[in-house]
Chains A and B, each alone.
Chain A
Amino acid sequence: MSALSALSSGETKGETFVINVGPQHPATHGVLRLKMTMDGEYITRAEPVCGYIHRMHEKMGENRTWAQFLPNTGRIDYLAAMAYSHAYVGAVERAAGIAAPPRAEYIRVITSELNRISSHLVWFGAFLLDLGGFTPLLYAFDDREKILDILEALTGSRLTYSYYRFGGVCNDVDDDFIRGTREFVAFMRPRMKMYHSLVTDNIILRKRLIGIGVISAEMCRQYGATGPVIRGSGVGYDVRKSEPYSVYRDLDFDVPVYPEGDCMARYLVRMEEMVQSLRIIEQALDKLPAGPVMASGVPRTLKPPAGDCCFAVEAARGRLLVRIVSDNKEMPYRVRLRTPSFCNLSLYEEASQGMMLPDALALLGSLDLVIPDIDR
Chain B
Amino acid sequence: MKALLKEIGSGFHSLVTGMRITLGQFFKPQVTVHYPHETLKMPVRFRGHIELVRDPQTGKAICFACKACEKACPSDCIIVEGVKREGERRKSVTEFKLDFTKCSLCGSCVEACKSEAIRFSKDYNLASVSKEEFIMDLFKRLESEQPKPPQAQPEQSKEAA
- Interface set of A (CB-CB < 8 Å, partner B): 64, 67-72, 75, 135, 139, 142, 145, 152-157, 160, 162, 170-171, 194, 197-198, 201-204
Contact = CB atoms under 8 A, between A and B. Distances in A.
B14 A156 contact: no
B11 interface: yes
Given A160-B104, A194-B21, A68 B46 contact: no
A170 B44 CA distance: 15
B120 A156 contact: yes
A203 B108 contact: no
Contacts of A75: 104
A157 B74 contact: no
Contacts of B107: 156, 162
Question: In this complex, which of B10, B22, B106 has the most chain A Cβ atoms within 10 angstroms of its Cβ?
Answer: B106
B111 A170 contact: yes
Say what secondary structure dominates the interface of chain A.
helix
Given A69-B74, A162-B107, A153 B45 contact: yes
Nearest to B48: A156
Interface of B: 7, 10-11, 14, 17-18, 21-22, 25, 31, 43-47, 72-74, 104-108, 111, 120
Contacts of B43: 152-153, 156
Nearest to B7: A203
Given A70-B106, A152-B46, A154-B45, A203 B14 contact: yes
A201 B21 contact: no
Closest 5 CB pairs of A and B: A71-B106, A68-B74, A156-B47, A156-B45, A153-B43
A101 B43 CA distance: 27
A204 B14 CA distance: 9
B47 A68 contact: no
A104 to B, nearest CB: 16
Nearest to A154: B45
Given A64-B74, A145-B31, A203-B14, A162 B106 contact: yes
25 contacts: A64-B74, A68-B72, A68-B74, A68-B108, A69-B74, A70-B106, A70-B108, A71-B74, A71-B106, A71-B108, A145-B31, A153-B45, A156-B43, A156-B45, A156-B46, A156-B47, A160-B104, A160-B106, A194-B21, A197-B17, A202-B14, A202-B18, A203-B11, A203-B14, A204-B14
Nearest to B45: A156
B114 to A, nearest CB: 10
B49 to A, nearest CB: 12
Contacts of B10: 203
Given A68-B72, A197-B21, A157 B105 contact: yes
Nearest to B106: A71
Given A69-B74, A201-B14, A204-B14, A160 B105 contact: yes
Contacts of A139: 25
A142 B31 contact: yes
Nearest to B68: A300
A157 B111 CA distance: 15
A155 B22 contact: no
A75 B17 CA distance: 39
Contacts of A156: 43, 45-47, 107, 120
Given A68-B74, A162-B107, A155 B45 contact: yes
A98 B39 CA distance: 43
Contacts of A153: 43-45
Contacts of B17: 197-198, 201-202
A155 B47 CA distance: 8
Nearest to B73: A68
